[in-house]
Amino acid sequence: RDLTTSAGLCGKVREKAKKTDLSEKKLTRYFVDQRCVKLVAGSGGKGVSSFHSEPRKEWGGPDGGNGGDGGSIIIKADRFVKSLAQVYPVYKGEDGQSGGSKNCFGKNGNTTHVHVPLGTVIKEQGRTVTDLSQHGQEFMAASGGAGGKGNRFFLTNENRAPMTSTPGAQGQERLLHLELRTMAHAGLVGFPNAGKSSLLRAISNAKPAVAAYPFTTLKPHVGIVNYRDHVQVAVADIPGIIRGAHLNRGLGLSFLRHIERCRFLLFVLDMSSPDPWAQLQDLHHELDHYEPDLSQRPQAIIANKMDLPDARSKLEALRSLVTRRVIPVSAVTGQNTEELILHLRELYDGYLRGEGSTEGKSAESW
């Protein structure tokens, strides 16, 4: 066939998965999607009060140097980092060194860099401060304290022998909440057991766990669908949404947050359920209550489990009830997944045209 597919999972998980197939429970240990960090920037070094002294030169004048500035803490987006797992709970910036006699200035503290994955949102007291979505983007999280002044600094014509020197300023202290939102182009949205993980397995080489019980998937997985012209589309398998998810029922709000990030949505319906169209209404309801118009993003409706009896008659009923395109597939047999992959590409091209080239390029670097 014309299409090849391959996978992308968070870095650490993929490395482990090569050796043995990890269970979902173990996988979740490697994927951390939020962290609270305390940042304390370095304090400035103190200035020094001293006087030049040399044999036969009694009044050498003030020569106390300034202290060095404290090291700042910068949070930097890095596309090679895939989860917040390696972010420590506390960071302390390097302090500036004290000044010395003979006009020696203290050394500035080195800047501390905290590397986080693309798509990290930084919040402070519930308020979003910034959103790091480009590789290399930096956020000055805590600035180091200024170094103190040595007595040489206070030398004036009026005061030829100042004794004053000042201590360095304290570094800034902040408590930040880091949140990782999955940055995928498409999100698979559906009830538990609808077959989202099976579908991601069918269209990419990602290997999320599949089982016949609800809430098998507890953390989002990202699979990459590769096209012949080297375009890559990232598809996220998002844990199941249930009625009341917007009120934090089920796995609740934390996963609606990931959906918010996806440019287009693939609503996965279980055609073996008695009323798949009611599932669709519920999904729209939950999404819209989380964020108005979220359910109106470019989308496709995927009627999954078409290999099961009765699915065909329900498909006709579903088509008569919705105006949007419905793609019937079977994740288990792989039936009609090509149509889905091609439609995914159409949605992606539409997104590039609509959102302008700048955002498109950053998405492509994924």
Ligand X SMILES: Nc1nc2c(ncn2[C@@H]2O[C@H](COP(=O)(O)OP(=O)(O)OP(=O)(O)O)[C@@H](O)[C@H]2O)c(=O)[nH]1
Q: Where does this chain bind Mg ion (CB under 5 A)?
A: 197, 216-217
| In contact, 70 and 93? CB cutoff 8 Å | yes
For Mg ion, the closer of residues 142 and 331 by Cβ is 331
For Mg ion, the closer of residues 112 and 197 by Cβ is 197
Would you state the torsion angle of the CA atoms of residues 96, 97, 98, 104, taken in this order, to the nearest 10 degrees? Answer: -110
For ligand X, the closer of residues 116 and 194 by Cβ is 194
| In contact, 305 and 272? CB cutoff 8 Å | yes
Question: Could you give the CA distance from residue 186 to residue 340 in angstroms, rounded to a whole number?
Answer: 12
Question: Could you give the CA distance from residue 266 to residue 188 in angstroms, rounded to a whole number?
Answer: 5
- At residue 48, what is the residue type? V
For ligand X, the closer of residues 24 and 359 by Cβ is 24
Q: What does 305 bind: ligand X, Mg ion, none (CB cut-off 5 to 8 Å by kind)?
A: ligand X
Q: How far is the CB of 250 from ligand X (least distance, A)?
A: 10
Angle at 147 between CA 142 and CA 150, to 5 degrees: 170
Q: How far is the CB of 298 from ligand X (least distance, A)?
A: 21
Q: How far is the CB of 253 from Mg ion (least distance, A)?
A: 18
DSSP string for 135-164: TT-EEEEEPPPPPPPPGGGG--SS-SS---
Q: How far is the CB of 329 from ligand X (least distance, A)?
A: 7
Q: What does 331 bind: ligand X, Mg ion, none (CB cut-off 5 to 8 Å by kind)?
A: ligand X
For Mg ion, the closer of residues 217 and 295 by Cβ is 217
| In contact, 203 and 225? CB cutoff 8 Å | yes
Closest residue by Cα to residue 260 from 238, 277, 280 = 238
For ligand X, the closer of residues 165 and 198 by Cβ is 198
Which chain residues interact with ligand X by CB under 6 A?
Answer: 190, 192-198, 210-212, 214-217, 239-240, 304-305, 307-308, 330-332
Q: What does 150 bind: ligand X, Mg ion, none (CB cut-off 5 to 8 Å by kind)?
A: none
Q: What does 7 bind: ligand X, Mg ion, none (CB cut-off 5 to 8 Å by kind)?
A: none
Q: How far is the CB of 179 from ligand X (least distance, A)?
A: 22
Q: What does 308 bind: ligand X, Mg ion, none (CB cut-off 5 to 8 Å by kind)?
A: ligand X
Helices 337-355 and 357-364: crossing angle, nearest 10°? 130
User: String of b and e for 194-217 (b: at least 16 CB within 10 Å)?
Assistant: bbbbbbbbbbbbbbbbbeeeeebb
For Mg ion, the closer of residues 30 and 105 by Cβ is 30
Q: What does 193 bind: ligand X, Mg ion, none (CB cut-off 5 to 8 Å by kind)?
A: ligand X
Q: How far is the CB of 212 from ligand X (least distance, A)?
A: 3
| In contact, 124 and 176? CB cutoff 8 Å | yes
Closest residue by Cα to residue 302 from 281, 280, 320, 333 = 280
Q: How far is the CB of 201 from ligand X (least distance, A)?
A: 8
Q: What does 195 bind: Mg ion, ligand X, none (CB cut-off 5 to 8 Å by kind)?
A: ligand X
Q: How far is the CB of 351 from Mg ion (least distance, A)?
A: 24
Q: What does 212 bind: ligand X, Mg ion, none (CB cut-off 5 to 8 Å by kind)?
A: ligand X
